[in-house]
Amino acid sequence: MRPIQTRYARSGDVRIAYQVVGQGSFDLVFVPGFISNLDLHWEDEGYSRLLKRLSAFSRLILFDKRGTGLSDRIDTNHLPSLETRMDDVRAVMDAAGSGRAALLGASEGAPMAMLFAATYPERTRALVLYGGYAHFHKWVMPPERLDAFIEMAETAWGTRATLPHFAPGRVDDPHFATWWGRFERLSASPTAAVALARMNAGIDVRGVLAAISAPTLLIHRRNDARVDPDASRFLARKIANARLVEVPGRDHPIWTGDVDRVADLTEEFLTGKYAVAEAERVLAALLVTRIHDTARLGDRMWSERSQRFQETWRLLVGRHGGRTAGTHGELMISRFDGSARAIRCAAALRDAAQGIGVASAQGVHVGEIESRGPPTGLTARVTMQLSAHAARGDILASRLVADLATGFGTSFRRCRPDHARRAGRAAGTGSGDVREASGAGLPPQDPGD
């Protein structure tokens, strides 16, 4: 689902780009953080998933702040105040035909949303503030750290140099890191990025918090790398009847980590409908894929092939009806509704790895996992251990996978007893519970392998 059209609202002498998605019973205005680009958001898996979730229960109004993305650039010699930028929200609502809306303010967007709620209470249905703060220097970075950040932006903007400051957990994800570099370049120029950083440094809305009367939900990650969680704890004390929910995670952007949890909390708060129980579990087939260097490649060539394989992995997982569930270096995790789909995808990935010039080792297991968030627990541990004990070019599956996939054109061969015992002990299964999969595009193998 992509927005059909980008429109422009006039705010003073500046035009603000906005999009409207969904047909829910109420309006929800998403106020973005430091930088944004309306078109580029839809190219990232996490960002697009968040927007799809939000637009499923609301009429979602998105916009690029002045100086960012598709909106007009700003005169860096005359930086606008927070009040001026807050008026951009009003201008977008007017252009979109929204008389009253809930506001979701993320990061630097949260102070704008708070100021809007205090200034226009009659137009504010509710507030959801993610990773927000009332005073920049107190809860984001002191002046000396800001100076270092600005120096980095002036010299390395567009090279994804800011990624460790916002999402350190995604630095080793080549696909996301490449997207982040484009996100920097297409969201703001180096000069604009520096100007935005200086504008944000002046944020202090502590004086308006008592004037906020709208129902308010605060969401903050417990180990947020960008904004101190104490920032939201302070807001919870100062905004009347505000509710604070702290969720696991370190990466700051709202579209990273468990975006479903953020969307669930937002939906529950704004609609009064309870989200799916947090502990609900579903049966799923997990596939863990590792790749190895086959020719002692240099760092640069290995990085290029690794990135190419990860891009292929995302494509093939989707093509086989699965969902990517996270990466950790050269470890890639995906989940499927059925064992046969997981096995077929593993076979396709093995062929793709050979074509790229790397070797894969894969593990497949079936078990219960939580319906939201990255797979954890016993099922994930078993699958990772199967992958760890799989030889290069092998797909190592548990007996349960073999039993469930029988009859779908896939044949299995029991692996060597010592191999099964090693994987079984590590995974917590019995010594006969691990089999090596062949067929489904897998060439015959020597029994002595």
7-271 belongs to which CATH class?
Answer: alpha beta
Q: What is the C-alpha to C-alpha distance for residues 318 and 312, in angstroms, rounded to an integer?
A: 10
Contact residues for 393 (Cβ-Cβ < 8 A; gap 6+): 350, 354, 359, 360, 361
* Vertex 49 angle, CA 57 and 387, to 5°: 140
Q: How many CA atoms lie within 13 A of 13 on its CB side?
A: 4
Contact residues for 446 (Cβ-Cβ < 8 A; gap 6+): none
Two structure tokens written together for 332: 């890639």
Sheet containing 216-221: give its strands across: 7-11, 14-21, 59-63, 27-31, 101-106, 124-130, 216-221, 243-247
* Neighbour tally for 192: CB within 10 Å: 19
Q: Which fold has domain 281-439?
A: Alpha-Beta Plaits (3.30.70)
Predicted pLDDT at 372: 67
Q: What is the C-alpha to C-alpha distance for residues 442 and 448, in angstroms, rounded to an integer?
A: 16
Could you report the average pLDDT of every consecutive run of 10 residues in the chain (449 residues)?
78 94 94 95 92 95 95 82 88 96 97 94 96 96 92 93 93 92 95 90 93 96 95 96 93 93 94 57 86 72 81 85 77 86 91 89 88 78 90 87 64 58 41 41 33
Q: Which amino acid is at 409?
A: G
* Vertex 31 angle, CA 27 and 35, to 5°: 150
Can you give the pTM of this predicted structure? 0.66
Report phi then psi at 2, rounded to 5.
-110, 145
Distances (CA, A) of 192 to 89, 164, 199: 20, 20, 10
Two structure tokens written together for 84: 């001026």
Q: Which of 241, 238, 234 is nearest to 216 (CA)?
A: 241
Q: Which of 83, 20, 4 is nearest to 55 (CA)?
A: 20
Contact residues for 363 (Cβ-Cβ < 8 A; gap 6+): 287, 288, 383, 384, 385, 386, 387, 388, 389, 390, 395, 396, 397
Burial of 146 (0-12, 13-18, 19+ CB in 10 A): middle
Long-range contacts: 76-85, Cβ < 8 Å, 24+?
76/191, 76/192, 76/194, 76/195, 79/195, 79/198, 79/199, 80/199, 81/202, 82/111, 82/112, 82/115, 82/199, 82/202, 82/203, 82/205, 83/115, 84/12, 85/112, 85/199
Predicted pLDDT at 340: 83
List the domain boundaries for the chain. 7-271, 281-439
Predicted pLDDT at 297: 65
